[in-house]
Chains A and B, each alone.
Chain A
Amino acid sequence: MQNENLDAIITEDKTTTTPPGDDEIHRCESGDLLNGVGSASSLASTVSSVFSNNQTTMSSYPGQTSSLHALTPLTNTDFSPPGKPLSPRSAKLSDDTMHATTASPYIAPSADLSQNVSETMTPVHTPPEHRRQARPGPGEPKGFRLFYDPMLDPKLSQLSQSEQKKPKPRYKTFGEQDDPSPPPDPRLAIAGYTSGNYVIKTGSAVAPKTKLRMAPYTLKPYAFDPRISVGPGPATQVVVTGFDPLIQESQIKALFGSYGEIAELSNKTDPNTGSFLGVCLVKYRDSRPVRGGTPIKAADAAKRAEKEGNNQRIGLREVKVQLDREGRKCKRFIAAVVEHNRKEQEKLFATDAARKPGTPVAGLTPTAITFEPPPNAPKGPSGKGMRPPEGPRLASLPKPAAHALVENEPILDKIKRKPYIFIAHQYVPVLGTTIVHLQKRLKNYQWKEVRVDKLGYFIIFEDSKRGEDETVRCYKECHMTALFTYVMNMECQQYGNPNYERSPSPERVLAEKREKEEQERLIREEEMDLEYEKKHRAEDLDPVIAALEYLKTELRDKVMSDIKARIAGPALFDYLDPERHVAKRRRLNIPDPQSQDAVRPTTYFGRGDDTPSVGTPDSRAAGFSGRFRKPLGPYDHNMFRGRRMPKVVNAFQDERRRKLPPKRPVVRGLHRQMLDFYDDDKDSDDEGRSSFTRDTEEQESRPLSRAASTDLEDEEPSIAHRSKRRRVDPGWGEESDDEMMDDAHARGLLAHLIDKDPEDMAEKELEQVLAILPRSSPIWKKADRAMKRTIKLRRSIEEADAIFFGVNHETTTVDRTEIPSVDITLEDDELAHKPVATTELEDVAKATLKKKLPKTKRKTKKQMFEEREALKAQTAATSEEVVEEEETPAAEEAKAEPEVFEPLPDTHRAEVEWGVSTDKPRRTVEDDLEIVLDIDGWQHMLKDEEDLKFLREALASEPASNVGDVHLWAWKQKQIKALNRPGEQGIIRSETKIEGYYVPNQTGCARTESVKKILELDKSKYLPHRIRVQKAREEREARAKNDPAAAAEAAKLATAAKIASTTSSRSNRANNRRLVNDINTQKQTMSAEGDTIRFNQLKKRKKLVKFDRSAIHNWGLYAEENIAVNDMIIEYVGEKVRQRVADLREKKYDMQGVGSSYLFRIDEDTVIDATKMGGIARFINHSCTPNCTAKIIRVDGTKRIVIYALRDIAKNEELTYDYKFEREIDSTDRIPCLCGSVGCKGFLN
């Protein structure tokens, strides 16, 4: 292994500059290299690239700044964080050569790393700790093996004690050689697996269908949905700042309108002055989808506005756009601007005040500059402050005093990067006057300035390439040349002050500062917002507050109910007692009430709540109107609670918090508990369970979402309806049918209970039932619900009683039982309740008995009949037997019927009298004459041998028909019956016959019948579309019969339409004539196209129509567009034939059986025949109240039939016109009109 490694490194290092040995040492010592290589290999995703990368990393190593991550702490997903050991995934890349590179990321890189790092520019991270791996890394020894143990050495014991020098046990490590590296992760072979940049090759034929999800990706956050989301939604408004306050609002609108529909745009104004502030709040709204476009959500629009609108130009300035959910930012901006304005104002005042005395301030604040005249304005005599910047070599510059020219401050510091030449004061003495000489001396060079300080002269050149060159030139030519008597020993610095360290320009500093401030401000504001929200949340979420809130409401409820029950109720009743108002009544002339009972409040007042709202109009008056759901519905906690709580809880729910399941009604009113106490001593056995468990169970038994609605349903029945509800609820049977009979046991046990209304049972009983039933069964649920309902109901009743009895006890001392209020006595006590239940029980028992009886009977009957059948078959063999056929006339049977007197008692009726009748023979079996006498019918009818005998006698005259095997025949008959009456068995009371229209063919079936023409009249009996029309017409007729006025009106309408048509047709014709004239004149102008015009002139105006099956007749024409009244629709095109030809053809068509007539008469001697050739106008059907009319117009000298709209015709309406056939009142086959219109005459002819 070692050798291999070495070899590998040697081979690699052949390309590098470092000697292999050196590298080897490094590798062994540090492992730093390995880390670097490791990260490089992880950068490259495949093995091959690892190889290629080796070189670079190796070569980078020998340099001192080797460590890769020390140099650039890469925080790419590809890389392990610097200093952390690599995940061992590249282990299998390690065949021999690879070991060199990937060998041991486990060797601690720490010390060396920190060494390396110390020299790098970026601060080093904390050296990573070497984590102990569970398994030793590759190359590390896995353990030690003892290969020499002195204790076991036999030789050693032989040696003398002195010789024993305690040889040490010797160990050998193992496991470094053949470390079984863990199997490689096959996913790593996929290019780009770790980075997620895996490209799925869709081009190849075997493109994978599934997407490989490599890198973990973030889930898309849920979109805000106002219905289900909690908390404020995403921002829908943006605040815009930075524009010119004087800009027009429309410009802003134009820009921001492009991102979405603007709901509101408020250009903020100064509250003091009303001037615009340059702050604008733009609120978006969800836009409706405009033609073809997709709707843009307000939030999206705002987001887009922020993203795209930022740094957009409005007017001349770039605007800043920020999302602003609550408008807080906007407020802040406004405040800032207002404050700023105020300050300026103050300053202005201050300067004004300062100016007034007449002492102009030299250094005006930049804001004050705005009050200055513009720079290019003509200067007045006092325009001194505004000197335009002038070049340094301006001649007009007044010469400063010579001594003043020697500057006190060192110039060097100010030079910065400007190229300059320095002449030290040692060579040329420092004198202000020398400057001018120097300038003159160097006039050939384009210097910029010549300055002097104590150190010497500085000839400063332009800060550019040219300046630099000039400096060099100047230096070359003037260095060590004479100036007066001095030698100018120059020092050339064409790159400016060598010691000058560039510092950022003040502007930039300023800008950066501003930016920083801005950012800080933003962060601060964000924090403020967060704080604000947190505060709100804390307020809203404080459980104490919530609990208090809740307690308050509960308490209020309780107090209110108490007041009502104890104080208001009695007082009111007392007050309303009619006897107290006798005098008033007398005074107001109001008759006395009929009886006291009428006045006495019924449980109606109890309103199902435990808080009767009698007479408190203010507090919960809504109870009667709005919340009053049922007169005696039990108190429903959920309904109550659901309304109040969410308001409190949902306002700002913390998204991070796990959503709690909907709150359980844990807190219950105290008065409830009290009630429970109260109940306990009354009927404790009924209230075996605490209210709490009951509630929870209810929650389980039905989904929460449905709870409210089912409650409503369940609570619907009032006391008054209870007696009605006592019938057997069909729901029980249905449900029990649906389910598998896993609760058969329970049902068998409780058969009598199941069909009983649970309300009628004692709760205890019901509970027992429930205990037996499995929970999953629907019956259980139902029963459970029912039980709860009863319990609730009872409780409410009791509460109501408590009120009223309380009242009664106070007002009257009448005994409970004597209270005439029916409702109360019925509902209240067990005494009234129990007897009902028991009688019910008996009934049920009886019913089951009844049910059972016939069942068993039927069975035995069947057996009997089978025997009889067998007997019959035997007798049939002897040929005497008569087997009744289906064709046996019913009359025959009727004849046989009276003979079926039975002296023997039949037991299958419950009310059978036993014993022989004493006075006269009475029919013991009432035969059901409605039963159809097929086999089942007969089997039902014939009860015993004697019946059969009688029947045989009755049918003796009938010839026996050969049916072959009687059993088979009977079975077949039943089979046929079963086929045609699916799902029915046994006796039937209606003949098995063909549903709907059926006229039997004489010969038996349609094909054996000769083909006949079917009259239209018959057709309308079975053609579905005609039946529909027919029905509509019949309906209408019936209505007309009932209401003749309407029919008359309709008829009037029809005639009116006709009149209108004639008038309009006149104008139409005029129009047409005009059109024709136009065409004619046009034709003359362009004679070549005359033909086409003639051809087209009618077609051009044609409307879009189609033909389809029609209810009126086979086919009809339908409008495919809306047609306005008097518009031409289509021309009736066909062969134009003479009258005689038409007559012949008509006959021929009649003979051929062409059902429809397509002959249209134009005039005396011309008929248009569209039968064989013609346009689709021939499909237009007749109607007695048509929507079109046919006109004969003259086009270009020929007569044409054109169909015009008589009224506005909607799309898809069938086009009709009046055929105006001659009336043939006596004709045998009049054509029935199926137009189905109001004024239908019934026939076409």
Chain B
Amino acid sequence: MQYVTINIMEEPSPKRRRSEDGYEESPPRRRQILRSPPNASPQYRLAERPARRSYSRADGADDSEDALDHRFYRDRRSTESPSPSELHARRSLTPPLPEKPTQLRYRQKLVLKGHKKGISAVKFSPDGRWIASCSADATIKIWDSKTGKLEHTLEGHLAGISAISWSPDSKILASGSDDKSIRLWDVATGQAHPVPLLGHHNYIYSLAFSPKGNMLVSGSYDEAVFLWDVRAAKVMRSLPAHSDPVGGVDFVRDGTLIVSCASDGLIRVWDTATGQCLRTLVHEDNAPVTSVYFSPNGKYVLAWTLDSCIRLWNYVEGKGRCVKTYQGHTNKKYSISGAFGVYGYPPYQYAFVASGSEDKTIVLWDVGSKNVMQRLEGHVGVVLGVDTHPIEPVIVSGGADCTVRIWRSD
């Protein structure tokens, strides 16, 4: 095993099953999905995933902290004795590693039309069955992710919707609108919960469900970050966060941390339990931060800034360090978001970052090498939201051209 030196940047760490950070499927995992009952809570699988993903490996050793990160999984693997033992043996005999792909081959499969105004966000449900898209026309549409069939149109907001978030069990969708309310929707029936979450003083700008589904964090134009108790529909905690609209919020995979970012250029990491600000990540230029996500392994923070950069921050180390910067897209004005994804086949899987761009494309970077792997062209307007399927190699995107597009890699 000594030769297995791994760069975690290229080897995506275990992913939390969150709607916004889907990744490419891998055959064994597909099997797993098939095995598990359809309504099983994803959290359980979450716990298993590190072990499952233990086959993954990569080349190129450059980042020490990543190596450290990977060792964990390697150890786990050795104890757990993975299924392809013959593979293991072969590998130890014949070291040559397969070439790491330099390109991705996503093709546009479906174009879903129906929204009357620009689409602000698209999200795969955590079980991968649905795509939710929200739009400035105050509606949310639920599409079948396989066939692209429109399942529901959720109406009830009085103004455009900026943010949506799936509950981890894929049954409830939360939406945050310009009408200052957050609504919860039962996806099965398409009905809104009669009691909205009220409390913000301006547009809701960002939303995220906690991994357990009991909390909801929302960022708003009123510069506040609210932590909601979903069941009681009440604000649990208000985080005195920022001095500009809060563009992005996210929970870490175990729900103990919250990250928020705002146009004032600050990214803040909070302790969910106490509401304490644990870290403030600032880049020199103070460029407004419009979106932020935790990496699936919870060790990094990916942030979109309006200087056409996406930065990967290691928030654990010191005061927080910018580890990678992804460039190649245009992002000067809009609050664009994206997602982590996975490519390659099980033993050799790597992570990529997908993001929309103002030049009407979707850009995919390799996480480790920062190379642009693919540019997906097809949209005729700014691509505002991009999400990856939690299992399959599918990407969904939505933009100002009022279309939702589904891209699939063969």
- Please indicate the chain A residues that have their CB under 8 angstroms from the CB of B167 in the complex: none
Q: Quick check: is B161 within 8 A (CB to CB) of the other chain? A: yes
Q: How far is the CA of A1108 from the CA of B162 in the complex (A)?
A: 29
Question: Chain B 199-223, CB within 8 Å of chain A: the 1/0 string?
Answer: 0011111000000000000000111
A431 to chain B, nearest CB (A): 112
Smallest distance from the beta carbon of A270 to chain B beta carbons, Å? 74
Shortest Cβ distance from B183 into A: residue: A979
In the assembled complex, B295 has its CB within 8 A of some CB on chain A: no
A980 touches B334 (CB 8 A): no
* In contact, A1022 and B158 (Cβ under 8 angstroms): no
Are B335's CB and A1022's CB within 8 A? no
Residue of A1003, A1109, A1149 touching B240 (CB-CB under 8 A): A1109
Q: Which of B4-12, B16-24, B134-142, B310-318 contacts A (4 or more CB under 8 A)?
A: B134-142
Say yes or no for B339: interface residue by CB 8 A criterion.
no
* Residue on B nearest A978 in the bound complex, by CB: B194
A1011 & B202 in contact (Cβ 8 Å cutoff) = no
Map CB proximity to A onto B109-120 as digits: 1 under 8 Å, 0 otherwise: 000000001111
A624 to B70 CA separation, bound complex (whole angstroms): 93
B221 close to A1006 (CB less than 8 A):
yes
Does chain B have a CB within 8 A of A1147?
A: no
Asked whether any CB of chain A lies closer than 8 Å to the CB of B341, the reply is no
Q: How many residues of A contact B (CB 8 A)?
A: 37
A1005 contact from B161, B202, B240, Cβ within 8 A: B161
Task: Across the interface, name the chain B residue whose C-beta is closest to A1172.
Answer: B284
Give CA–CA (A996, B160) in the complex, Å.
16
Interface residue count on the B side (C-beta < 8 Å): 53
Q: Please, which residue of chain A has its CB at the minimum distance from the CB of B134? A: A1005
CB of B159 within 8 A of chain A? yes
B201 engages A1008 (CB within 8 Å): no
B residues 125-164 touching A (CB-CB < 8 Å)? 135-138, 155-156, 158-163
- Grouping DSSP codes into helix (H, G, I), strand (E, B) and loop, the A interface class, with mixed when no group exceeds half, is loop
User: Which of chain A's residues 238-266 have a Cβ closer than 8 Å to chain B?
Assistant: none
A1115 to B136, CA, bound (A): 33
Residues of chain A within 8 A (CB-CB) of B192 are: 979
Residue of chain A at shortest CB distance from B240 = A1109
Q: Contact check, A1024 vs B222: say whether CB atoms are below 8 A apart.
A: yes
Question: A1004's contact among B121, B137, B223, B247, by CB below 8 Å, is which?
Answer: B137
Distance in Å from the Cβ of A1006 to the closest Cβ of chain B?
Answer: 4
B158 touches A1010 (CB 8 A): no
A973 to chain B, nearest CB (A): 8
From B163, B243, B247, B265, A1152 is in contact (CB under 8 Å) with B265
In the complex, chain B residues whose CB is within 8 Å of the CB of A980: 156, 158
A996-1010: CB near B (< 8 Å → 1, else 0) gives 111011011111101
Q: B180 contacts A975, CB within 8 Å?
A: no
Binary A-proximity of B162-177 (CB < 8 A = 1, otherwise 0): 1100000000000001
- The chain B residue with its CB closest to the CB of A977 is B156
Q: Using Cβ atoms and an 8 Å threshold, which residues of chain B touch A979?
A: 156, 183, 192, 194, 196
CB distance from A1056 to the nearest CB of B (A): 34
**With A and B bound together, what is the CA distance between A1114 and B333 in angstroms?**
24
Which chain A residues border B203 with CB–CB below 8 Å?
Answer: 1001, 1005-1006
Q: Is the CB of B138 within 8 A of A972?
A: no
Q: B243 contacts which chain A residues (CB < 8 A)? A: 1114-1115, 1155
Q: Is there an interface contact between B335 and A1011, defined as CB atoms closer than 8 Å? A: yes
Whether A1004 pairs with B159 at a CB distance below 8 angstroms is: yes
- Bound Cα distance from A963 to B287, whole angstroms: 44
User: Which residues of chain B come closer than 8 Å to A1001, judged between CB atoms?
Assistant: 136, 159-160, 178, 203
A992 to B180, CA, bound (A): 14
CA distance A760 to B178 in the complex (A): 55
Contacts of B71-119 to chain A: CB distance below 8 A: 117-119
Residues of B near A997 (CB, < 8 A) are: 201-202
Asked if B136 and A996 make an inter-chain contact with CB atoms under 8 angstroms apart, the answer reads no
Report if A290 contacts B (CB, 8 A). Answer: no
Q: Is the beta-carbon distance between A1008 and B400 smaller than 8 angstroms?
A: yes
Query: Does B155 lie within 8 Å of A976, measured CB to CB?
Result: yes
Q: Are A998 and B156 in contact (CB under 8 A)?
A: no
Q: Are A1023 and B223 in contact (CB under 8 A)?
A: yes
Q: Are A998 and B178 closer than 8 Å at their CB atoms?
A: yes
A994 touches B159 (CB 8 A): yes
Q: Is the CB of B66 closer than 8 A to any CB of chain A?
A: no
Contacts of B121 on A, CB cut-off 8 Å?
Answer: 1007
B187 at the binding interface (Cβ < 8 Å): no
Any A CB within 8 A of the CB of B244: yes
Q: List the B residue with the shortest CB-CB distance to A1171.
A: B286
Q: Do B118 and A1003 have beta carbons less than 8 Å apart?
A: yes
Least CB distance, B59 to chain A, in whole angstroms: 38
A1003-B117 CB under 8 A given contacts A972-B155, A979-B194, A1023-B201 = yes
Q: Mark B322-358, 1 if CB is under 8 A from A, else 0.
A: 0000000000011100000000000000000000000
Bound: A1152/B161 CA distance, A: 29
A975, A1008, A1024, A1153: the one within 8 Å of B117 (CB): A1008
Q: Contacts of B161 on A, CB cut-off 8 Å?
A: 1005
A1154 part of interface (Cβ distance < 8 Å): yes
Indicate if B179 sits at the interface (CB-CB under 8 A): yes
Are B201 and A1004 in contact, CB atoms less than 8 angstroms apart?
no
The reply to whether B222 and A1006 form a contact with Cβ atoms under 8 Å apart is no
Task: Assess the B180–A994 pair: CB atoms within 8 A.
Answer: yes
Are the CB atoms of A1004 and B335 closer together than 8 Å?
Answer: no
Residue of A972, A995, A1007 with most partner-chain B CB within 10 A: A1007
Residues on A with C-beta less than 8 A from B290 are: 1011
- Would you call B156 and A1000 a contact (CB within 8 A)? no
Q: CB-defined interface of A335-378 with B at 8 Å, one 1/0 digit per residue?
A: 00000000000000000000000000000000000000000000
Is B50 at the interface (CB under 8 A from chain A)? no
Is B396's beta carbon under 8 Å from chain A? no
Complex alpha-carbon distance, A1007 and B123, angstroms: 15
Contact residues of B between 221 and 243, Cβ < 8 Å to A: 221-223, 240, 243
Is A1004 a contact partner of B245 (Cβ separation < 8 A)? no
Q: Are B245 and A1006 in contact (CB under 8 A)?
A: yes
> Given A972-B155, A982-B194, A1001-B136, do A1007 and B179 touch, yes or no (CB 8 Å)?
no
The interface residues of chain B lying within 8 Å CB-to-CB of A1115 are 243
Say whether A1004 contacts B135, CB under 8 Å: yes
Closest to A994 in B: B179
B334 touches A1005 (CB 8 A): no
Q: Would A1014 and B288 count as touching, CB distance under 8 A? A: no
Known: A998-B178, A1109-B240. A1022 touches B135 (CB 8 A): no
B384 touches A (CB below 8 Å):
yes
A998 surroundings in chain B (CB, below 8 A): 159, 178-180
Task: Give min CB distance, A484 to chain B, whole Å.
Answer: 115
CB pair A1007 B335 closer than 8 Å: yes
Is the pair B120, A1008 in contact by a Cβ cutoff of 8 Å? Answer: yes
- For residue A1004, give the distance in angstroms from its CB to the closest CB of chain B: 2
Interface residue B306 (Cβ < 8 Å from any Cβ of A): yes
Query: Could you tell me the distance in whole angstroms from the C-beta of B265 to the nearest C-beta in chain A?
Result: 7
Judge whether A440 is part of the interface by a CB distance below 8 angstroms.
no
A1005, B136: Cα distance in complex, Å: 5
The answer to the question of A403 belonging to the interface, with a C-beta cut-off of 8 Å to chain B, is no
- The residues of B with any CB-CB pair to A shorter than 8 Å are 117-121, 135-138, 155-156, 158-163, 177-180, 183, 192, 194-196, 201-205, 221-223, 240, 243-245, 247, 263-265, 285-288, 290, 306, 333-335, 384, 400
5 A–B contacts from the bound complex (CB under 8 Å)? A979-B183, A993-B158, A1005-B136, A1007-B162, A1011-B290
Please give 16 more A-B residue pairs, beta carbons under 8 A apart, in addition to A1004-B137, A1011-B263, A1014-B244: A979-B156, A979-B183, A979-B194, A994-B158, A1001-B160, A1004-B117, A1004-B138, A1005-B118, A1005-B160, A1006-B162, A1007-B205, A1010-B333, A1013-B263, A1024-B201, A1114-B243, A1153-B286
The 10 closest A-B pairs by CB, nearest first: A1004-B136, A1005-B160, A1010-B333, A1004-B160, A1007-B120, A1114-B243, A1008-B118, A1007-B162, A1152-B286, A1005-B136
Interface residues, chain A, CB within 8 Å of chain B?
972, 975-976, 979-980, 982, 992-998, 1000-1001, 1003-1008, 1010-1011, 1013-1014, 1022-1024, 1108-1109, 1114-1115, 1149, 1152-1155
